Amino acid sequence: MKKITKRVGTLAVATGVAFATLLTGATSAFALPGGPSERLSTSTPNFGCGAAWYAAQTTLKFQCDGNLVLYRNSDGHAMWATGTYGTTNNPTILDFSHNGDIEMLRTEDWGTGVFCDLGSDNPAPGGTAVIQDDGNFVIYNTAGQATWATGTYNNQQGTVHACQ
């Protein structure tokens, strides 16, 4: 009887997840809280602390302590992070730059306050930033080529101090 109850429970959960996916259209690897299947253009407006983006295996959060962290959804483990926390001048703006990279800025130093610059060695103007279903956070250029990545695909551990 326990086996039957367990199988029925598992089937109910799977059906609920499938129904929720059907209703929301959540089929993409990257979605913003505002709508399913969105990718961030590298010219997307700035985001403040508390912004988060979700994928099948990971969640990218711009925390209010200034750290940008990619968490594994299954257990909350930090797979990758910028390490930009714990100072009095933490970054407060996450800028998907027109230059094709991702900049972490301090608001009081808007013109010169780039605290951390991800992807600046190989920028992708007009490209997209994507949290993939395999757990990797990647910047792609307009030709679809990866120009920067966290290296966290297939549950691999990335660096936790990428900007230090």
Complete DSSP assignment for 122-144: S--TT-EEEE-TTS-EEEE-TTS
Instruction: Give the fold, CATH level 3, of 39-155.
Output: Agglutinin, subunit A (2.90.10)
**Beta strand spans in 29-101 (E):** 40-41, 47-48, 52-54, 58-62, 68-72, 78-81, 93-96
pLDDT of residue 21: 32
The one-letter code for the residue type at 74 is S
Alpha-carbon torsion 87, 89, 93, 97, what sign?
Answer: negative
Q: Domain-by-domain residue ranges, the chain?
A: 39-155
Note the Cα 164 to chain centre separation in Å: 19
pLDDT of residue 80: 92
Q: What is the pTM of this model?
A: 0.67
Distant-in-sequence, close-in-space partners of 88: CB < 8 Å, separation ≥ 6? none
Structure tokens at 64: 């209010």
Radius of gyration for the chain, computed over Cα atoms and rounded to the nearest angstrom? 18
At 47-79, the pLDDT tens digits run 788 888 888 888 999 888 888 899 999 999 999
pLDDT at 36 over 90: no
Distances, alpha carbon 108 to alpha carbons 48, 80, 89, 94, 98, in Å: 14, 27, 9, 14, 20
pLDDT at 89 over 90: no
Q: What is the distance between the alpha carbons of residues 99 and 152, in angstroms, rounded to a whole number?
A: 24
What is the average pLDDT value for the chain, to the nearest integer? 69
At 140-156, the pLDDT tens digits run 888 888 888 889 988 88
Mean pLDDT of 68-93: 84
Structure tokens at 54: 């979700």
